[in-house]
């Protein structure tokens, strides 16, 4: 590639009464970038990349453009460097949810949260202590192929193929965890999957914590993250995986999916998403 790219991931649960109007404006201001942006009535989620100046211009517009009515002010952007250009094209979609949970009525919107329930977010420094406490179950809220590539030490793989399968795993184990007096420390890549899950798990009577900002924030915050993390972190773009210093690794899609018949479609998709450029 002729110019280095920076990767940016972000999300926010916020009520958007006109998702398609928001999406159209996003298409207009993101033409210099590549990646995927999802817009739904419950908010926005994105993984994008581009030259540093173009990315900065987009992030500023996202927060300040009058078309968004202040919905994205103060957005938390997580950045990482790129050797491989992560995306070739920019795609902006509207969907019913920014992340499909599979349980009707569950929302990540803060305005729907019960203020009487404790905040589940845990910063990286506290997370390091929490996951080593004896009554804590460290639960990986990602797909199994992601877990196999890398995970927190002592984490449990729920062995799910899709995020929408995760609630069934929790429901199956919730009573045993409560009987045993277990607390649940849950994590995912950037935090969005845990946002959808945490309040619902509290409704099941569980004491649950989520790693604020996900594994990406842990890597960014903790310079010695390799003390707690085993392996690499899968990322949903052409880089495939990054290490604990947010640097791209030599891992390929074949390394991740080869020999896994149930994941053959993911390998085929990865190849489709990897045109020259």
29: domain CATH number is 3.30.70.100
Q: Mapping DSSP to helix (H, G, I), strand (E, B) and coil, where does residue 60 land? A: helix
Query: Distance (Å, rounded) from C-alpha 147 to C-alpha 152?
Result: 9
Domain boundary pick from 94, 128, 153: 94
Residue 277 has a pLDDT of 41
Let me know whether 16 and 56 are in one domain.
yes
pTM: 0.90
pLDDT higher for 30 or 117?
30
Let me know whether 176 and 245 are in one domain.
yes
Domain boundary pick from 94, 127, 161: 94
Let me know whether 67 and 188 are in one domain.
no
Is 126 within the bounds of a domain? yes
Residue 199 has a pLDDT of 87
Mean pLDDT, residues 144-160 taken together: 94
In contact, 87 and 24? CB cutoff 8 Å: no
In contact, 89 and 34? CB cutoff 8 Å: yes
Is 99 within the bounds of a domain? no
Mean pLDDT, all residues of the chain: 91
pLDDT higher for 270 or 121?
121
- Report the catalytic residues: 188
Does residue 266 register a pLDDT over 80?
Answer: no
Q: Which residue has the tokens 């406490």?
A: 133
Is 105 within the bounds of a domain? no
Q: Which residue has the tokens 């990315």?
A: 55
| Owning domain of residue 145 | 110-272
Q: Considering the chain, what percentage of its residues have pLDDT values greater than 90?
A: 78
Let me know whether 117 and 247 are in one domain.
yes
Is 187 within the bounds of a domain? yes
Mean pLDDT, residues 51-58 taken together: 97
Let me know whether 29 and 146 are in one domain.
no
Let me know whether 120 and 23 are in one domain.
no
Q: Look at the chain and report how many structural domains it folds into.
A: 2
**Residue 274 CB coordination number (10 Å):** 15
Q: In the beta sheet, which residues pair with residue 137?
A: 184
Residue 3 has a pLDDT of 79
Is 104 within the bounds of a domain? no
């Amino acid at each position: 590639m002729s110019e280095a790219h920076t990767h940016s991931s972000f999300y926010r649960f916020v009520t958007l009464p006109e998702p398609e109007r928001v999406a159209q404006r996003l298409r207009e201001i993101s033409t210099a970038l590549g990646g995927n942006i999802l817009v739904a009535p419950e908010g926005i989620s994105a993984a994008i990349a581009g030259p540093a100046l173009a990315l900065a211009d987009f992030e500023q517009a996202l927060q300040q453009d009058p078309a968004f009515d202040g919905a994205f002010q103060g957005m938390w952007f997580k950045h990482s460097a790129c050797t491989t250009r992560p995306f070739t094209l920019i795609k902006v979609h509207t969907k019913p949810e920014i992340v499909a949970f599979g349980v009707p009525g569950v929302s990540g919107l803060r305005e729907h949260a019960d203020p009487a329930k404790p905040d589940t977010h845990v910063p990286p420094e506290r997370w390091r202590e929490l996951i080593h406490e004896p009554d804590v179950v460290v639960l990986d809220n990602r797909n199994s192929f992601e877990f196999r590539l890398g995970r927190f030490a002592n984490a449990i793989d729920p062995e799910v193929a899709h995020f929408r399968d995760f609630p069934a795993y929790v429901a199956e184990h919730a009573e045993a965890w409560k009987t045993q007096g277990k607390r649940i420390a849950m994590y995912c890549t950037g935090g969005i999957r845990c946002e959808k899950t945490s309040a619902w798990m509290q409704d099941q009577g569980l004491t649950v914590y989520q790693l604020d900002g996900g594994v990406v924030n842990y890597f960014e915050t903790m310079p010695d993250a390799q003390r707690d993390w085993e392996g690499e972190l899968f990322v949903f773009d052409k880089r495939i995986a990054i290490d604990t210093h947010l640097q791209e690794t030599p891992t390929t899609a074949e390394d991740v999916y080869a020999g896994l018949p149930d994941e053959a479609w993911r390998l085929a998709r990865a190849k489709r998403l990897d045109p020259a450029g």
